[in-house]
C-alpha cells in the first residue's frame, strides 16, 4: 500500500482573514513522505506539477487536521479532486476517542518524546521574510512527526498526549487504517 503523509504551510495566516475562509489561504510549501520511496520531499506552488503524480498514485493520504484544512486548501491548486483519494486525518481519529482536539505538539511530546521547532504562524513569518528553506524544514518536521505518530499507533494501538505536565495514553482503533494492496478501489482523478 502506497501511503503519502503530507502537510502544508501557508503564505498567510488566519488573523488577517476571516477565521474559516480557507478560500483566501495561499499555500507556500507542501511537504510529503512517500512510503514507496521512503523519502521526504517538499514542493512550492511552482513545483506542484511534480507533486500531483505522487498524490495520484497514493492509496491513502495521511495528515493532521488535513481533512478540514490541508486538503481543501491544496485542492484549490489541484486540477482534479484530492478529496476522492482515501485519507486518514490523525486529528479526526484522536478526536473520535478523546471527544476534543489535541495539538500535534502535545501528541509529539508525549508519544515521541520530541517537540516541534516552531509553529504555523512562525512559518508564515519565515515565508514572508524569504526564509524558504526554513519553512521547508519546518513543514517536513511536521510530516515526520505525523508519520511517526501513525506508525506508533499502528504498532501500539495507542497514542499519548500531554495533559498539564503528565502524559496520558489512550487506545486508538487502527483496524481500518490499513488496506491490503490491490484491495482499494480506484480513487484517482487524473490519468497519470
Mean pLDDT of 162-175: 91
Tens of pLDDT, residues 59-69: 999 999 999 99
Do 163 and 104 form a contact (C-beta atoms < 8 A)? no
Cα four-point dihedral sign 102, 103, 107, 110: negative
Measured CA to CA in angstroms, residue 155 lies from 59, 149, 165, 174 at distances of 20, 10, 25, 9
Mean pLDDT of 13-17: 55
Give tens-digit pLDDT for 66-87: 999 999 999 999 988 999 999 9
DSSP 178: -
Q: What is the pTM of this model?
A: 0.88
3-state SS of 102-149?
Answer: CCHHHHHHHHHCCCCCCCHHHHHHHHHCCCHHHHHHHHHHHHHHHHHH
Predicted confidence at residue 169, as pLDDT, reads 94
Q: Is the pLDDT of residue 190 over 70?
A: no
Residue given cell 524558504 in the structure block: 132
Domain segments of the chain: what residues? 3-97+119-156
Beta bridge partners of 62: 5, 88
- Which residue pairs, CB below 8 angstroms and at least 24 apart, start in 8-15? 8/69, 8/70, 8/73, 8/74, 8/139, 9/120, 9/123, 9/124, 9/127, 9/135, 9/138, 9/139, 10/73, 10/120, 10/123, 10/124, 11/124, 11/127, 11/128, 12/124, 13/120, 13/121, 13/124
Q: Please tell me the class of the 3-97+119-156 domain.
A: alpha beta
Read off the pLDDT of residues 115-150 as tens digits, 9 standing for 90 and up.
877 777 778 787 788 889 998 999 999 999 999 999
Q: Residue 162: helix, strand or coil by DSSP?
A: strand
* pLDDT for 96: 95
Q: 19: pLDDT confidence band, cut at 50, 70 and 90?
A: low
Average pLDDT of the chain, as a whole number? 88
Amino acid at each position: 500500500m502506497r501511503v503519502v503523509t503530507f502537510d502544508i504551510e501557508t503564505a498567510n495566516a488566519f488573523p488577517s482573514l476571516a477565521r474559516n475562509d480557507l478560500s483566501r489561504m495561499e499555500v507556500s510549501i507542501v511537504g510529503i513522505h512517500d512510503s514507496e520511496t521512503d523519502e521526504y520531499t517538499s514542493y512550492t506552488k511552482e513545483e506542484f506539477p511534480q507533486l500531483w503524480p505522487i498524490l495520484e498514485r497514493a492509496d491513502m493520504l495521511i495528515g493532521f487536521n488535513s481533512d478540514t484544512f490541508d486538503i481543501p486548501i491544496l485542492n484549490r491548486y489541484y486540477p482534479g479532486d484530492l478529496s476522492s483519494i482515501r485519507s486518514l486525518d490523525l486529528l479526526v481519529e484522536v478526536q473520535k476517542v478523546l471527544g476534543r482536539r489535541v495539538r500535534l505538539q502535545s501528541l509529539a511530546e508525549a508519544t515521541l518524546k520530541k517537540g516541534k521547532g516552531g509553529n504555523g504562524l512562525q512559518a508564515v513569518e519565515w515565508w514572508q521574510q524569504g526564509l524558504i528553506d526554513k519553512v521547508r524544514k519546518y513543514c517536513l518536521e511536521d510530516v515526520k512527526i505525523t508519520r511517526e505518530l501513525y506508525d506508533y499507533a499502528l504498532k501500539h494501538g495507542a497514542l499519548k498526549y500531554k495533559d498539564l505536565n503528565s502524559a496520558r495514553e489512550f487506545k486508538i482503533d487502527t483496524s481500518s487504517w490499513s488496506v491490503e494492496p490491490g484491495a482499494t478501489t480506484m480513487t484517482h482523478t487524473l490519468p497519470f
